[in-house]
């Protein structure tokens, strides 16, 4: 029988600082060659989790495995990993070349071999020719590139990146994001990336681990995290949404009928968020719909049979470059939507039609 072995496994990890439980029963499996992201708000335990894997911290309970071997008691330098931290972690008194050769010397790699490896990683991170600069002579983005090169040059089994882009401006962050993703796939090194930026997590990862207050809320692909959140926290943390309160009128098979004010709204039962999936008539619920799932049209004719459009009034129009953000008033409620099909006659006060498909509404029990 072929047992599945993961590159990294955390089993039942718990970590406490004083009376503060920082990690509570963390279970995690990282596949070979995967880019897995730990995502969550500040203080939720992302760095602590990464430090358990790196060996800078030891869990109070539970174990860490790398390539099937228990490493709970193995010191960091014996774990064969490359790590990049949030703040620049280069040696300031060493040139780029010296920074890169440091780990190779420790590993007693021959001089000629060192040069080959360094040339290759510098090329990978597009820093060839800057070998003799000191960190202070480099821009922030260049420094982070060198930090990544230094982590990669020793050809680690595992690459750990703790918010390596958070000190950079938006444009550079975007560029390096794409570059890390390209590099990671090119080399195929199993990578754990930490961020509190949901867009960064969704755009870079094979899978995302959403963490909240020392616990894992959900582990899924980026599209599943966005479209099928398993907990209300995940839904609220990722993306924007409009919300309404309502009362269940009827539940049958896969359709739930909810009354919101005087309106009747239908929801697919597959779209219930959270563990409590059984609903009954008179239950109070909250409905959510993402701005990009609210359809808008100048006419009442709907583009699909499940879409029922209702009259609304535009109360705000914001141009975002590639799309328009529109606020409309629908029966006294403000609803925000995002659209690419903009009608140039729209202005403040324009009468329009808006609506959504039942499959695009999500629901939680209150
Ligand atoms: N050495 C320590 N001693 C005491 N408390 C600590 C220590 N390290 C972390 N903590 C606490 O543990 C919790 C989790 O910290 P951690 O650094 O893992 O969060 P994080 O998710 O990485 O947050 P951020 O996004 O701000 O980096 C926080 O409440 C933090 O204050
Ligand atoms: Mg952190």
Q: Residue 193 and residue 200: Cα distance in Å, rounded?
A: 10
Ligand closest in space to the Cα of 195: 1
Residue 39 CA: which ligand is closest?
1
Is the pLDDT score of 233 beyond 50? Answer: yes
Give distance in angstroms: CA of 282 to centre of ligand 2. 43
- Give per-residue pLDDT as tens, 89-111: 789 999 999 999 999 998 899 99
Q: Which of 44, 42, 65, 46 is nearest to 55 (CA)?
A: 65
Report, as an integer, the average pLDDT of 156-167.
89
What does the alpha-carbon distance between residue 122 and residue 96 come to, in Å, rounded to a whole number? 10
> Mean pLDDT across the chain, nearest whole number?
91
Q: Do domains 8-236 and 242-365 have the same CATH topology?
A: no
pLDDT attached to residue 1? 45
Q: What number does CATH give the domain 8-236?
A: 3.40.50.300
Report the greatest alpha carbon distance in the chain. 78
The pLDDT value given to residue 3: 55
Half-sphere exposure for 233 (CA within 13 Å, toward CB): 14
What's the pLDDT band for 309 if we cut at 50, 70, 90? confident
How confident is the model at residue 308, as a pLDDT?
Answer: 78
Q: Which atom of ligand 1 is nearest to 40's Cα?
A: 21
pLDDT band at 5 (very low <50, low <70, confident <90, very high): low
Three-class secondary structure assignment of 194-254: EECCHHHHHHHCCEEEEEECCEEEEEECHHHHHHCCCCHHHHHHCCCCEEEEEEEEEEECC
Torsion of CA 42, 195, 13, 20, to 10 degrees: -10
* Burial (0-12, 13-18, 19+ Cβ within 10 Å), 203: middle
Judge if the beta carbon of residue 22 lies within 6 A of ligand 1.
Answer: yes
Q: Where exactly are the structural domains of the chain?
A: 8-236, 242-365
Q: Which of 232 and 60 is assigned the larger pLDDT?
A: 60
| Residues by chain with Cβ below 5 Å of ion ligand 2 | 47
Class of domain 242-365: mainly beta
Q: What is the mean pLDDT of residues 301-318?
A: 86
């Amino acid at each position: 029988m072929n047992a599945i072995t993961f590159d990294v496994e955390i089993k039942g990890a718990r970590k406490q600082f004083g009376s503060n439980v920082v990690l509570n029963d963390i279970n995690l499996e990282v596949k070979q060659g995967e880019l897995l992201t730990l995502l969550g708000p500040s203080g939720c335990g992302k760095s602590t989790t990464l430090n358990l894997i790196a060996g800078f911290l030891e869990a109070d309970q539970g174990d860490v495995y790398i390539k099937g071997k228990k490493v709970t008691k193995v010191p960091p330098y014996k774990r064969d990993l490359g790590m990049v931290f949030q703040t620049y972690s280069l040696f300031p008194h060493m040139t780029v070349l010296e920074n890169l050769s440091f780990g190779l010397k420790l590993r007693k790699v021959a001089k000629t071999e060192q040069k080959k490896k360094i040339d290759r990683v510098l090329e990978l991170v597009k820093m060839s020719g800057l070998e003799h600069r000191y960190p202070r002579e480099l821009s922030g983005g260049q420094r982070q590139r060198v930090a990544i090169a230094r982590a990669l040059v020793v050809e680690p089994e595992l690459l750990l990146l703790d918010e390596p882009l958070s000190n950079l401006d938006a444009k550079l962050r975007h560029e390096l994001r794409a570059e890390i993703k390209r590099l990671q796939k090119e080399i195929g090194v199993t990578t754990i990336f930490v961020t509190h930026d949901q867009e960064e997590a969704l755009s870079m990862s094979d899978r995302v681990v959403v963490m909240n207050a020392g616990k894992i809320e959900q582990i899924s692909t980026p599209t599943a995290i966005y479209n099928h959140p398993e907990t209300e926290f995940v839904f609220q943390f990722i993306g924007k949404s409009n919300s309404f309160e309502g009362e269940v009128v009827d539940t049958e098979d896969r359709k739930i009928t909810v009354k919101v004010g005087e309106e009747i709204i239908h929801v697919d039962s597959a779209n219930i968020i959270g563990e409590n999936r059984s609903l009954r008539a008179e239950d109070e619920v909250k409905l959510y719909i993402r701005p990009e799932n609210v359809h808008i049209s100048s006419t009442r004719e709907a583009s699909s049979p499940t879409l029922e459009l209702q009259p609304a009034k535009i109360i705000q129009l914001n141009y975002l470059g590639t799309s328009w953000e529109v606020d409309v008033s629908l029966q006294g409620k403000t609803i925000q939507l995002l659209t690419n099909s903009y009608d140039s006659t729209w202005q403040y006060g324009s009468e329009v039609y808006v609506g959504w498909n039942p499959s695009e509404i999500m629901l939680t029990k209150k």
